[in-house]
Every structure is written in C-alpha cells, then in structure tokens.
A and B are shown apart, each in its own frame.
Chain A
Amino acid sequence: MVTLEELHEILSQVKDPEVPVLNILDLGILRSLTCENNHWTIVITPTYSGCPAMQTIEADIRTAISHKNIQNFTIETVLSPAWTTDWISEEGKRKLEEYGIAPPVDEVDKSVLFSKPPVVPCPLCKSQNTRMVSQFGSTACKAHYQCLACQEPFDYFKCLR
C-alpha cells in the first residue's frame, strides 16, 4: 500500500511537457490526493480550457504511477475553482526564471483598454527595461516580451486571475 508521501514523490516527477522544469505540484494543477478503500483519487485542473498539455500530463501521471505497480487509482479533472497563476509555488516561480521564462507579476485590471503592460524584468539580465511584443505567446499561458537592455526575446508566464 503506497503512502501519501510516496505518491507525492512519484507525482513530483511528472513535468509540464511545455515547461519541463516545472512539475505538476510546482504548477499548482494537482488539486488533491485522496484515498478511500485502498483506491486513490488524483484530482487535476487545467491551466487554460484548451491547454493541449493536459492530455499528455494525464498520460504521464498514469505511466508514472503504473510503473510503481499501483493499479487502484482514478484521475479526475475539475474546472472549479478555476486555476490561477497564484497557485504556482514560489519554488515554481524560481525554476521558471532560471529556465528563462519570466514568472507572473502582479497585474492591474486587464479590462482597462490600452492599459500599460506590466513591467516584467528580463529573466536573463534582470533589466526592467523590457517591452511587450505580443499579449499572446508560444503557448496559451505565455506572452511574448523583449529585453531592451540585452535585446534577448523571452517568454512571460502571464498573470491569470
């Protein structure tokens, strides 16, 4: 019989396929782990409705757990409460930055038209002198920025609340 700690350990090996430095605990998409009558229920939630990584993540969880000879488990996907970037752990934010993706920063109300895009420090040279190239980036969860100090383009994990 696998313990909660062991299962945690197994699941911490499951990475986001699009941001492979983050595991599903860092990302905050693992919502709960419960055990009833020797049967585990693993509850996950998507970042964005259309996030194509969700299917891969579910398959990866299945593989990781089956490798440990655990058969009695169900994976459930829930939509509510809706995921927000506040659920990314501090550890996760640090890993993102190290990987070259700027972590989410506090943003003002996005309903304001032509509101100034948030100041996102460059994950490489740390300069605050950056500009938003596009509100939409390489995946649903990212915006596209460029650093005006070191000239490097970079991804920004945009704030979702």
Chain B
Amino acid sequence: MDSKLKFLLRLGDDSMILGQRLSELCGHGPILEEDIAMTNIALDLIGQATNIYTYAATLSAEFKDADELAFLRFEHQYYNAVLLEQPNGNFADTLVRQFFFDAFRVPLFQHMMQSNDETIAAIAEKSLKETRYHLKHSSEWVIRLGDGTELSRERAQFAVFDLWRYTQELFFMDEVERELVDTGIIPNVADLRETWLKTVESVMQTATLQIPENQGFFGAGRLGRHSEHMGYILAQMQYMQRAYPGMQW
C-alpha cells in the first residue's frame, strides 16, 4: 500500500474509532453538560475522519469514498492505536484516555500544518482549532478528578496506570512514516513524545496523580492487530452496511 494512504488511514482511524467510542455516551453521559460535550467532541472527530478518509479514498484503488473506508474495511484493515478502542469504562477512564490522545494530537496537528502536502496541511489547520478545545476540556477534568474526592482520585489514578501502557503506540513509526518524514509530508511522530510528556507531566502534577515508571506494552494497532474490543466496535458501527449493502438514507 502507498505510504501516504497507509498514514492517512492510521491518522483517520484514530479519529474514527475514538469518535465512535465517544458517541456511545450519547444519552449516557454522567451529567447533561458532559453528555453534550462528549458527543460534540465525537462529532468533531468523525468530521476529521471524514476529511481524512475523503483524501485517502482518492489514493485508494479499493475504496471509492469516505463511507466505504469507514464501513467496508475489516478489523485487520483498521490502523488506529489500540488506546482508542479501549472501552469507555467509568468517567475517569474516558477522560484520561481522551487527555492522553488530545495531548498528542495538538502538537501533531501543529507540526502537520507545515506539511508540503496542501491537503494534509489544510486538514491539520482545521482540526487543530477543535482539538485545542478538546485538550482544555479533558485536562481540566483530569485535574478535577485527580485532585478531587477520594473516590474520583482513586479512579483517575487507576485509569492512568491502566491506560499508560497504550500511550507508547501513539509515537509509533515504521517505514511508512519515515518515508513521509523524509519527503516533508509529516512531522517526525516519535519526536512529539517529548512535548506530549511535558503536557502530561504538568497536568498530572496539578492533578496530584502519579505516572507509572514502566513504559511496558507496545500495541500493534498501527499494523492492524487489535485488542478484543475492536471487533465489537466495528460490528456495531458497520451493521447497517453489512446487513443492507449499499443502503442510503
């Protein structure tokens, strides 16, 4: 597969799968304002995925548009990081997952705006504005929960310990990214970890939460190998197109 196409799928699948996860909270948020917030963020993410997939489809021989890429690919053809398919769990799990991701996406889009590929730069410019709102929202919540009640702190700390092992994968690079870095199309993703860690450390400190020392597990979602949760997400998301191929409404 063409490197640019592969990268666009990795980028778009992150948005798509997290957007789908967050949309599960529609009508189930812990309070009305957060219900609305999480679904608004889901909408932004699915919008980003649509923009990315629309561009990816122009490079794909197999899939003709954004809908086909979202609804007709199998699990091993999805390249999102495993972090993003993790269940919503409790509110702390949802927000810590979101925070780890937002803290990565802001510097990613900032650098990607310099891309010499016009469309990628435009998508980054558009997405950055929204992602800044997301980061502010998720970091403030991580701080409230961490530096909150005994129970909220316990849950936030558990979420950090639980999800930390998936964060390394966000900075994954193989020959796909390396080729695009060399040609000035994307920033060096691995180098973003320093900026990410700075944001994470400062928020964790304010939130009185600890970061685990061990980096541990390295997911393989970028290669199409997912956790047990992924199949269920796709089953729900793709049901209509699988049951009634080509349906529209």
Cα–Cα, bound, A101→B36 (Å): 18
Q: Quick check: which of A56-64, A66-74, A130-138 contacts chain B, the rest being far away?
A: A130-138
Interface of chain A: mostly helix, strand, loop or mixed: loop
Q: Quick check: which of B59-67, B84-92, B129-137, B160-168 contacts chain A, the rest being far away?
A: B129-137
Query: How far apart are B119's CB and chain A's nearest CB, in angstroms?
Result: 8
- Proximity string of chain B (32-66) to chain A, C-beta cutoff 8 Å, 1 when within and 0 when not: 01101100110111111011000000000000000
Q: Quick check: which of A28-36, A76-84, A86-94 contacts chain B, the rest being far away?
A: A76-84
Cα–Cα, bound, A80→B133 (Å): 19
B residues in contact with A144, CB < 8 Å: 33, 36
Check A160 for interface membership: any CB of B closer than 8 A. yes
Cα–Cα, bound, A46→B126 (Å): 9
Interface residues of B in 1-45 (CB under 8 A from A): 33-34, 36-37, 40-41, 43-45
Check A37 for interface membership: any CB of B closer than 8 A. no
Q: Are A140 and B40 in contact (CB under 8 A)?
A: yes
Which residues of A line the B interface, CB within 8 A?
A: 46, 48-52, 78-82, 84, 110-111, 113-114, 133-140, 144, 160-161
A residues in contact with B140, CB < 8 Å: 113-114
Cα–Cα, bound, A144→B118 (Å): 35
Query: How far apart are A112's CB and chain B's nearest CB, in angstroms?
Result: 8
Query: How far apart are B133's CB and chain A's nearest CB, in angstroms?
Result: 7
Which residues of B line the A interface, CB within 8 A?
A: 33-34, 36-37, 40-41, 43-48, 50-51, 118-119, 121-123, 125-127, 129-130, 132-133, 135-137, 139-140, 143, 203, 206
CB within 8 Å for A134 and B51 given contacts A48-B130, A79-B123, A80-B118: no
Instruction: Provide 29 A-B residue pairs closer than 8 Å at the C-beta atoms, listed in order of the A residue.
Output: A46-B126, A48-B44, A48-B130, A49-B50, A49-B51, A50-B44, A50-B47, A52-B43, A78-B122, A79-B126, A80-B121, A80-B126, A81-B125, A110-B132, A110-B136, A111-B135, A113-B139, A113-B143, A113-B203, A134-B33, A136-B36, A136-B40, A136-B137, A140-B40, A140-B44, A140-B130, A144-B33, A144-B36, A161-B129
